[in-house]
Amino acid sequence: MSIVNFQLSIKIIMTSREIIAYMESLQNEEQRKILMGFFKTGPGEYGEGDEFLGLKVPQTREVVKAALNIDHGPLSISEVPELLMSKWHEVRLCGFLILVEKFEKLATKRLENNADAIRGRDEILTMYLKYAERANNWDLVDLSVHKILGHWLLLPSSLGDKDYKRQVLDELSQSDNLWKQRMSMVCTWKTSQMGDPSWCLRYAEIHLHHPHDLMHKAVGWMLREMGKRVSMDLLREFLRLHIQEMPRTMLRYAIEKMSE
């Protein structure tokens, strides 16, 4: 089915069960096999056991768009946990992207200090952290964490101050779950975009000796973004201090956009 035809055929979605049923109806066996190989779902691989429907990301985003259609009443946040608990990778992605969209609507400049918006953002953040382990592959983390957790770090919150926010990230970074650890690093993409390098530098140091290649890539990527968005001098100083101990993949990602 083409994306155009898909957009024309999508129905109005009101509940999580309707979302799941609709997405299951689009199952594509050929694409499913490709995705299961790409996301390393085989025995002993980092995505072992994950189940795919075979949907492409634009298809999932169209479902999110339909679920949040204001004209017909957007999907309630209370419906999202059922999506996050699904065995299907794409359904979980849909749930996380719905949280992203809901968070971003409450995080505009006009609503930064609005009491109702603060409560709403904190509710979304709390749900995101509660179901963090359901983001059990790099795409689920990378498409959501900076837009929810990363943005929340720099916004007013009734949950706690900067020390509390640092504690939230410390707990993720110290988890024995690879994807929570990745969250603590990739969320700094947003803080760097907004001009604050401190979060990136802190968690890059914490994960400097991480054993997994996926974290080497994440740390190097976030350092590169920090240098690009905030200060190349800060990036060069970090490299000067740590270049001898950095894994080579991390270093390669960090210097990718630097001149010879």
- pLDDT tens per residue, range 116-156: 999 999 999 999 999 999 999 999 999 999 999 999 999 99
Q: What is the pLDDT of residue 260?
A: 77
Tens digit of pLDDT for each residue in 193-231? 999 999 999 999 999 999 999 999 999 999 999 999 999
Give the number of other CB atoms < 10 A from CB of residue 42: 12
Q: What is the pLDDT of residue 71?
A: 64
Token pair listed for 127: 């749900």
Q: For residue 73, is pLDDT > 80?
A: no
Tens digit of pLDDT for each residue in 23-71? 999 999 999 999 999 999 999 999 999 999 999 999 999 999 999 986 6
User: How many residues are present in the chain?
Assistant: 260
* DSSP notation for 172-226: HHTSS-HHHHHHHHHTHHHHHHTT--HHHHHHHHHTTT-S-HHHHHHHHHHHHHH
Vertex 231: Cα angle to 104 and 204 (nearest 5): 70
Among 13, 124, 8, smallest CA distance to 71 is for 13
Angle of helix 198-206 relative to helix 178-186, nearest 10 degrees, comes to 150
Tens digit of pLDDT for each residue in 150-169? 999 999 999 999 999 999 99
Q: What is the pLDDT of residue 25?
A: 94
Q: For residue 11, is pLDDT > 60?
A: no
pLDDT band at 259 (very low <50, low <70, confident <90, very high): confident
Q: For residue 4, is pLDDT > 50?
A: no
